[in-house]
Amino acid sequence: MYMNDLHKALGDISSIRREMARSTQFRGYGPATLAATSALALLAAAAQAVWLPDPANDMPAYLSIWVLTAMLSAALTGAQMYTRTRRIHSGLSDEMIRMAVEQFLPSVGAGLLMTIVLVRYVPAVSWMLPGLWQVIFSLGIFSSCRFLPRPMIAAGVWYLLTGLVCIAFGDSRALAPWTMGLSYGMGQLLVAGILLLATPEGEDES
């Protein structure tokens, strides 16, 4: 009986912590770090412009540039999110990190699987990848908006619109360096700006 009561009490505490995490604004994303991912996108676009003048005929190189950029950005954001969440959310940090990952993970998985399928089975339409990546990224942002500052929906709208514009090109023009560089460069700056303005006065803005 004692062990059953103990397990029930622990379960109740866990449920309370999850509910508290759901009702708390997540502040694990740092403006400075997200601005750095903007710089990474612009650097990747510059590298593509210099070293890959015809991406449509060298999709492996194109994918290498942008997949590597995405991995570096994710690693930078993830490492900083972990340390920042531990500092700001303290006792709720595990729940907050888990919630943030759960919101974005489906979009990441969908983007990865879609990339593999298009490149492997329908390479003729690989030019759609930049637009589809941006649309999927926007869905991840929209999914996360419920525990981020309300203006963050503007970033989701930005990525949705830029993704649709890329798809509307209808050909390999969508693979031009600026389609990814401008979209993610400006988009991540927008995200960083929203987070910076939403940071309470006197708190660490890194």
End-to-end alpha carbon distance in the chain: 49
3-class SS letters over the chain: CHHHHHHHHHHHHHHHHHHHHHCCCCCCCCHHHHHHHHHHHHHHHHHHHHHCCCHHHCHHHHHHHHHHHHHHHHHHHHHHHHHHHHHHCHHHHHHHHHHHHHHHHHHHHHHHHHHHHHHHHCHHHHHHHHHHHHHHHHHHHHHHHHHCCHHHHHHHHHHHHHHHHHHHHCCHHHHCHHHHHHHHHHHHHHHHHHHHHHCCCCCCCC
Q: Which two tokens stand for residue 140?
A: 């991840």
At 24 the pLDDT is 61
Q: Is residue 190 part of a domain?
A: yes
At 28 the pLDDT is 76
At 16 the pLDDT is 46
CA distance linking residue 148 with residue 145, whole number of Å: 5
CA distances to 17, 71, 94 from 132, in Å? 36, 17, 31
Q: Is residue 10 part of a domain?
A: no
Q: Is residue 16 part of a domain?
A: no
Q: 48 exposed, middle or buried (CB, 10 Å; 0-12, 13-18, 19+)?
A: buried
Q: Which two tokens stand for residue 27?
A: 């502040």
Torsional sign, CA 154, 160, 166, 168: negative
Q: Is residue 168 part of a domain?
A: yes
Q: Is residue 4 part of a domain?
A: no
At 82 the pLDDT is 86
At 200 the pLDDT is 58
Q: Which two tokens stand for residue 51?
A: 């070293």
Q: Is residue 119 part of a domain?
A: yes
Contact assessment for residue 77 and residue 36, using Cβ atoms and an 8 Å cutoff: no
Q: Which residue has the tokens 């009702």?
A: 23
At 144 the pLDDT is 87
Contact assessment for residue 144 and residue 194, using Cβ atoms and an 8 Å cutoff: no
Q: Is residue 24 part of a domain?
A: no
Q: Is residue 79 part of a domain?
A: yes
Structural domains of the chain, count? 1
Domain of residue 52, residue span: 31-198
pLDDT 10s digit of each residue in the chain, 206 long? 544 544 444 444 455 445 544 556 677 788 999 999 999 999 999 999 999 999 999 999 999 999 999 999 999 998 988 888 788 766 666 777 788 788 888 999 999 999 999 999 999 999 999 999 999 999 999 988 888 888 999 999 999 999 999 999 999 999 999 999 999 999 999 999 999 888 654 355 45
